[in-house]
């Protein structure tokens, strides 16, 4: 029945307003946020048009539970703010209203015009501004719903749902593309990518996430215009990369980015990392475990992800600096700063994340110090849990000896008496092997590293990616992470 309804709706001419019953298309009231419905009802009661729009409608039609809800209306930002007590106008590039309901935020946008310049007297006034590459830097010219649909990125995101009357509104054959699971950019792809290069990243992310094919006219220009990513402000690019990595399909998404020539613009080190021995395995392990945590609704830290993505370049520079005569720890510190500073040219890693990333890296050589005082001091460090999960990841990738990771797993899950015995055993072993390689942790750049024999070692799981400190975890310091190396 739903398929038959799709067919009836889709045989009509494109570019005109088409309406279909939400219930008959498979949308259920429980799919929609009560707060988003309330925003629509309140604005409609005040005499405005209001619809749930974009990803929430798309996901509901595809049978995926929507998570974020946006509303589009012909009310101005000031009109919207007037209707709600906890409403805040945000943004300069695009003025939006955030309506707050406890922990949930409903983002409300005003219908935007698809004209290049504002017509005098148009609601909202002003002009559409762009830079020399064609990227739109300001767009607060308001228009009709049909114009707003034409300004959206993909046809499947240009569907409007009126929860009051249970109507889905389609201007651009979005329902047809929903049925075919095809991602198609609205308008001429080259122009739309110049207006906002981030659309290329969204195309990749949505295609992987929704298991959609990308229409040839949408896919082909991506590689040709990949260099436009460099025009996106680094802070905004960081937000988009977070979405890519936390989509639940990070490995597949990165593979698609590389296929379409976008990876270099995002993470210039990525291709180099994949060429290094063990580099690809290291990243794939980190992202596989991150994907699983996302699917299980467990917390994930962007700091841990970036620590994983940039680690092999840090190790490379660390070895080079140390070989030039610098002491080991100062060499590591210098390597970290060089790599983070180099990445800022494309993606700005916020200081709150960069600081955690540095702590994770700095603690790696400290895991090799397994004397009584040193081991206890390591466990007491704020970012011990994140650094320990990173150690497990290194062992799982074969970068360091599995024995080191197993020792720390035993140490943190044991009582004080057994901890001391583990330290004593380690000291006796070090004494026996004095002058023949020491602890054999394999942590020094350029040093020999015995690869793991495979299999699932103790403590090898998939990490705790919440980014919480060990002091925030309390008793969890006394046992290994049950979810292995993907944390932070």
**Residue pair 465/415 in contact by the 8 Å Cβ criterion:** no
Rg (CA), the chain: 26
Which pair of tokens denotes residue 87? 């409403």
Sequence-separated (6 or more) residues with CB below 8 Å from residue 85: none
Q: At what angle are helices 416-432 and 372-379 packed, to 10 degrees?
A: 130
Of the CA atoms within 13 Å of residue 371, those in its CB half-sphere come to: 5
Catalytic residue, candidates 68, 162, 166, 239 = 68
Can you spell out the DSSP letters for 162-198?
Answer: ETTTTEEEESSSHHHHHHHTEE-BSS-HHHHHHH-TH
Q: Is 68 a catalytic residue?
A: yes
- For the chain, give percent helix, strand, coil, nearest 5: 50, 10, 35
Q: How far is CA 172 from the centre of its chain?
A: 29
> Which neighbouring-strand residues pair with 213?
182
SS (H, E, C) 200-237: HHHHHHHHHHHCCEECHHHHHHHHHCHHHHHHCCHHHH
Residue with tokens 């805040």: 88
Measured in degrees and rounded to the nearest 5, phi and psi for residue 85 equal -65, -45
70 forms bridges with which residues in the sheet? 53, 107
Q: What are phi and psi of 139, to 5 degrees?
A: -155, 90
Q: Which of 79, 139, 153, 173 is catalytic?
A: 153
Are 135 and 167 in contact by the 8 Å Cβ rule? The answer is: no
Catalytic residue among 70, 139, 196, 464: 70
How far is Cα 353 from Cα 464, in angstroms, rounded to an integer? 16
Does the annotation mark 288 as catalytic?
Answer: no
* CA triple 235-394-302, angle to 5 deg: 20
Taking each helix axis from N to C end, the angle separating 384-396 and 279-295, rounded to the nearest 10 degrees, works out to 120
Residue numbers annotated as active site: 68, 70, 153
């Amino acid at each position: 029945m739903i398929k038959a309804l799709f067919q009836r709706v889709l045989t009509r001419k494109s570019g005109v307003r088409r309406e279909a019953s939400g219930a008959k298309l498979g949308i259920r009231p429980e799919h929609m946020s009560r707060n988003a419905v309330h925003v629509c009802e309140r604005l409609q009661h005040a005499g405005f048009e209001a619809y749930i729009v974009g990803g929430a409608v798309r996901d509901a039609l595809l049978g995926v539970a929507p998570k974020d809800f946006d509303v589009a209306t012909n009310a101005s930002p000031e009109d919207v703010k007037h209707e709600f007590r906890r409403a805040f106008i945000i943004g300069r590039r695009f003025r939006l209203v955030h309506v707050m309901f406890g922990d949930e935020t409903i983002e409300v946008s005003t219908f935007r015009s698809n004209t290049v310049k504002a017509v005098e007297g148009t609601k909202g006034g002003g002009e559409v501004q762009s830079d020399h590459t064609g990227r739109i830097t300001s767009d607060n010219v308001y228009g009709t719903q049909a114009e707003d649909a034409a300004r959206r990125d993909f046809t499947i995101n240009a569907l409007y749902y009126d929860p009051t009357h249970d109507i889905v509104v389609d201007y651009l054959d979005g329902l047809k593309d929903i049925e075919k699971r095809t991602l198609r950019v609205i308008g001429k792809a080259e122009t739309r990518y110049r207006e906002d290069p981030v659309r290329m990243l969204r195309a990749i992310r949505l295609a992987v996430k929704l298991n959609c094919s990308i229409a040839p006219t949408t896919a082909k220009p991506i590689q040709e215009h990949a260099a436009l990513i460099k025009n996106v402000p680094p802070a905004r690019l960081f937000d988009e990369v977070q979405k890519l990595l936390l989509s639940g399909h990070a490995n597949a998404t990165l593979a698609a980015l590389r296929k379409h020539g976008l990876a270099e613009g995002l993470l210039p080190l990525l291709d180099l990392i994949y060429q290094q021995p063990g580099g690809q395995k290291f990243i794939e392990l980190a992202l596989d475990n991150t994907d699983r945590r996302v699917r299980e609704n467990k917390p994930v830290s962007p700091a841990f992800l970036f620590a994983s993505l940039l680690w092999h370049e840090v190790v490379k520079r660390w070895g080079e600096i140390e070989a030039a005569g610098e002491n080991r720890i100062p060499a590591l510190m210098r390597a970290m700063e060089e790599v983070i500073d180099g990445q800022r040219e494309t993606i700005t890693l916020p200081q709150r994340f960069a600081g955690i990333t540095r702590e994770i890296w700095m603690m790696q050589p400290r895991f090799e110090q397994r004397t009584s005082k040193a081991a206890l001091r390591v466990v007491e460090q704020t970012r011990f849990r994140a650094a320990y999960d990173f150690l497990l990841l290194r062992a799982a990738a074969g970068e360091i000896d599995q024995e080191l990771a197993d020792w720390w797993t035993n140490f943190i899950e044991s009582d004080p008496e057994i901890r001391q015995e583990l330290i004593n055993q380690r000291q006796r072993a070090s004494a026996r092997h004095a002058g023949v390689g020491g602890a054999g942790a394999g942590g020094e750049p350029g040093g020999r590293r015995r690869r793991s024999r495979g299999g699932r070692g103790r403590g090898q799981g998939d990490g705790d990616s919440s980014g919480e400190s060990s002091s925030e975890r309390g008793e969890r310091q006394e046992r290994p992470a049950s979810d292995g190396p993907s944390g932070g």
